[in-house]
Amino acid sequence: MTTSYTLQNNKITHMNDIKLMAERVNLYYGTFQALRNISLGIPERAITAVIGPSGCGKSSFLRLFNRMNELIPYARVEGRVEIGGVSIYEKSVNVVELRKRVGMVFQKPNPFPMSVFDNVAFGPRRHGVSSRSQLEDIVQRSLRQAALWDEVKDKLGQSGLALSGGQQQRLCIARVLAVEPEVILMDEPCSALDPIATLKIEELMRNLSEEYTIIIVTHNMQQAARVSDMSAFLMMDRDRAGILIEYAPTREVFSRPKDRRTEDYITGRFG
Amino acid sequence: MSNIAARQTSQRYAYGALIAATAIVVIPILCIIVYMIVSGAGAINWEFLTQPPSQAGKAGGILPAILGTFYLMLGTLIFALPIGVLAGIYLSEYAGDNWLTRLINLAIINLAGVPSIVFGLFGLGLFVLAFKFGMSLLAASLTLACQALAMIITTSREAILAVPGEYREGSLAIGVSKWQTIRYVVLPQAMPGIITGAILALSRAAGETAPILVVGAAFFLPRLPTSPFDQFMALPYHLYTVSAHVPGMPKVTIWGVALVLLCVVLSFNILATVIRLRSRQRGI
């Protein structure tokens, strides 16, 4: 595995350091193997798309990096997963601290049933920020970053559940941004949204990728082609375990796939 | 055509049967309430509600019984609510899915089905005799708390489990600890359900006669309890004594006591319903 990649979607072609790394990772749920021998490096401040057919372990792969797989009973990880060169499955790693650094946005927008303000301030408050003016700054900054400020600045006291689906998802992104993570994991963030809301989120992702390392799981080939710098294609092995078929800059994966299975999938021959 | 006509007929019969079944349930309850009001309202006056009884309850009021019942409910609440909610949190959020947890859940469900007199005897043995609390408000509160616990744990557990997992994930995914997630996301969501369950458990405790009979309720005590170790009067037991053990008791007084007890229990049930409806309106 090389340690840097040339990015093509970004205007300037520059070399990004590896932010996240998986090395020979196996993931089991009880006796079922969900991921097999996955190795790859995710570049910093870029968007990496994870594509592949349903049930191939894309979400499980994503959740390796914030250890959310641990919420499932009997989940077990083998191999090494690193963030910034430090292994995250060591006993010494505080999983709460890790998840502060590696935020996550889910498939279905899941704002808490509280006001817009309280939704965004939730993380900082739990992490010990109590000054009202500081919280106001954080909320405004996060909502601006999430391209939602102009739409909600007059209704910060309203319930987050009263927003539209696309706004709710951007609220969830703002909630993640408020705790100042380094990495944002997105698990099919647009699959519950209409095309216009989807485009807004994609534009937002492009802007965020200048500061954050983003991994997005998506079912939508066009979306992967549009937004990502790198693409990883996962597929099921004969025993349904997820394996990495191809990982390369997005343009290469979509224009000259090296593997026949990748080509079949992105041209819609299966999946 | 005839097929449709036949189906319409059977539809009418089914509808009629459902209405009849509902009426069979509702009408007697309404009759009881109306009969109670008609027979007991004559006894209700300021003196009845604010004076201690005299002449074995034939004269005076029932203030010690009303207050005794409120003290009992307060005591039950103080002991049962915190323990019940904490146990509910443990069982729903922390306990692993194993045979021990299943056994505990099964035991709690069965606890709710134990006859109340058995709780009374348990309280007599443990709180009155072993802990030497004597026949007292404290012993009775603890006994009723044991009985209410089963219901409070079960409803708390259900209310907590009903909070969607996506809220927990959303909180955990931004580095909020599990306990903070429970405290600030799950519990506020589950609170209406927990409170409803607690109120219903309390209203049931308020109506219990058998358990308090053996752990501290007084037959006739025309003064207010002065400490938790004092004996006390309570509405259900007072109703039992005046209706079964006092010869020459005016009927209107008996129905008056019953009416007051019913009002206490019903007002708690209505409160629980209001809380549930309001939380539903908020869309939670």
CATH number at residue A19: 3.40.50.300
pLDDT at residue number A4: 43
Query: Residue A256 belongs to what domain range?
Result: 5-112+183-266
Of A105, A112, A172, A215, which to mutate for an interface test with B (greatest number of B Cβ within 10 Å)?
A112
What total of structural domains would you count in chain A? Answer: 1
Q: Report the pLDDT averaged over residues B182-202.
A: 92
The whole-angstrom distance between B93's CA and the closest CA on chain A is: 11
B107 pLDDT band (50/70/90 cuts)? very high
> Do the domain assignments include residue A56?
yes
Contact B102, B109 (CB under 8 A): no
> Do the domain assignments include residue A222?
yes
Contact flag A99-B173 (C-beta cutoff 8 Å): yes
> Do the domain assignments include residue A68?
yes
Q: How confident is the model over A154-199, as pLDDT tens digits? A: 999 999 999 999 999 999 999 999 999 999 999 999 988 899 989 9
Q: How confident is the model over A16-37, as pLDDT tens digits? A: 789 999 999 999 999 999 999 9
Contact flag B170-A175 (C-beta cutoff 8 Å): yes
Contact flag B175-A172 (C-beta cutoff 8 Å): no
| B96, B169, B184: residue with CB nearest A106 | B169
| A111, A123, A161: residue with CB nearest B174 | A123
pLDDT at residue number A7: 46
CB pairs under 8 A between A and B: 70
Report d(CA A48, CA B17) in Å as an integer: 63
Report d(CA A82, CA B14) in Å as an integer: 66
Q: What is the dihedral of CA A147, A153, A154, A159, to 10 degrees?
A: 80
Confidence check: pLDDT of A9 > 60: no
Q: Interhelix angle for B251-281 vs B2-40, to 10°?
A: 130
B2 pLDDT band (50/70/90 cuts)? low
**Which position has the higher pLDDT, A16 or B197?**
B197
Q: Report the pLDDT averaged over residues B254-281.
A: 87
The whole-angstrom distance between B166's CA and the closest CA on chain A is: 6
The helix (H) or strand (E) run that includes residue A5 is strand A5-6
Residue of A nearest to B282 (CA): A113
DSSP B25-94: HHHHHHHHHHHHHHHHGGG-SHHHHHS-EEGGGTEE--HHHHHHHHHHHHHHHHHHHHHHHHHHHIIIII
Contact flag B170-A111 (C-beta cutoff 8 Å): yes
Kindly provide the residue ranges of all beta strands, DSSP E only, lying in A119-212, ordered along the sequence. 183-187
Strand partners, A83: A20, A86
> Do the domain assignments include residue A178?
no
Strand partners, A185: A104, A215
From chain A, the residues in CB contact with B172 under 8 A are 68, 71, 99
pLDDT at residue number B113: 87
From chain B, the residues in CB contact with A66 under 8 A are 173
pLDDT at residue number B220: 82
| B170, B180, B283: residue with CB nearest A112 | B170
| A97, A106, A161: residue with CB nearest B175 | A97
| A101, A123, A159: residue with CB nearest B176 | A123
Residue of A nearest to B186 (CA): A112
Confidence check: pLDDT of A3 > 90: no
Helix or strand or coil: residue B137? Answer: helix
Q: What is the ipTM of this complex?
A: 0.88
Q: How confident is the model over A32-74, as pLDDT tens digits? A: 999 999 999 999 999 999 999 988 999 999 999 999 998 888 8
> Do the domain assignments include residue A117?
no
